[in-house]
Amino acid sequence: MRPFQKILATLLLAASAAAAQAWPDQPITLVVPYTPGTGIDLVARQLSARLPAVLGQPVVVDNVAGASGNIGSEKVARAKPDGYTLLVQVNTLVMNKSLYKSLAYDPLNDFTPVSLTSWGTLLLVTNPNVQKTTSVAQVVAAAKASPGKFTYATPGVGTPHHLSMAMLLQSTGTEMLHVPYKGTAGAVTDLLGGRIDYMFLPVHVALQHIQAGKLKAIATGSDKRLAQLPEVPTLAEAGIKGGNVDMWYGVLAPKGTPSAVVDRLNKEIGAVLRQPEVATAFESQGMVPASSAPGEFKELMTKDAQRWAGVVQRGGITAE
């Protein structure tokens, strides 16, 4: 390294350290690109309730919903990279990279990953009145015998629920009729009423209906069985290659945020996630706390984007 390069590097490190020492000196905003009450909103509110104690500044949640999370995500991507505007997102962030023909931001290159916060998963469920649906093998056999006869609902095109089912159908060479809804509520209502046959649902949404006998769990998309439903096999156990459809949740900052600020956030978020009360709150929503180093989070995002891009391309799926 040449002398002037060493001087520049030293100055940059000094500036980053100075920024970290001064940060934070004003409130921090956690942008949630979805409506209140969602799983990602719960994550943000757990952080906003506990981070002020260690950061010494208020932490507020700003729900900026719309366009499958793109409006809120773009807002953070365009924000000043000073550590005061952060994004709390789920893996739809990287799914959107291949779903939308044009985005006003780059999900992989316009953010600095800070830390994972948790993992959630989806359950493949059915209305109990649908015949021959006690296992994935029976579902596949029935779908192959009657291509396009069976239906599955999603909260919309390109959602994790949709891509998870697309992955399953692609992996098994089967066809079903996709019925997209504008949100989860209407889809669940029709599933319970027998107007829809199958659906991938988050654990916290499906569990109450499973326990009441109104829905039947066929398989879980996690890499291991759920504590709440130990008798339900995973998709992998059912023979579905690459059947893990877990959803990651995490915090990101605008690209260019000082590394010292990112490191401080990573440390404090990790400490919050280790609190027993947070684990309990997450478990009520079918999630498990999980922190990570920024670099690990970046690697996960990159691999996940590639994986779901394959599903999108094979299925010819586009979102408008």
Structure confidence at residue 8 (pLDDT): 55
- Confidence label for 5 from pLDDT (cuts 50, 70 and 90): low
Architecture of the CATH domain 122-220: 3-Layer(aba) Sandwich (3.40)
> Could you tell me how far CA 206 lies from the centroid of its own chain?
17
**Percent of the chain whose pLDDT exceeds 70:** 93
Tell me the residue type at 275.
Q
Please state the pTM of the whole predicted model: 0.89
Q: Where are the domains of the chain?
A: 25-120+247-315, 122-220
Please tell me the CATH superfamily of domain 25-120+247-315, with its number. Bordetella uptake gene, domain 1 (3.40.190.150)
Condensed to tens digits (0 to 9), the pLDDT of residues 176-211 reads 999 999 889 999 999 999 999 999 999 989 999 999
Structure confidence at residue 6 (pLDDT): 55
Q: Do domains 25-120+247-315 and 122-220 have the same CATH topology?
A: yes
Tokens of 187: 């889809």
Q: Kindly report whether the peptide bond that precedes residue 254 is cis, defined as omega within 30 degrees of 0.
A: no
Nearest to 202 by CA among 30, 34, 61: 34
Structure confidence at residue 101 (pLDDT): 85
Condensed to tens digits (0 to 9), the pLDDT of residues 39-59 reads 899 999 999 999 999 999 999
Q: Tell me what the pLDDT averaged over the chain comes to.
A: 92
Q: Where are the alpha helices (DSSP H) in 116-211?
A: 136-145, 160-172, 184-192, 203-211
- Edge-to-edge strand list for the sheet holding 198-202: 177-180, 151-154, 198-202, 122-126, 216-220
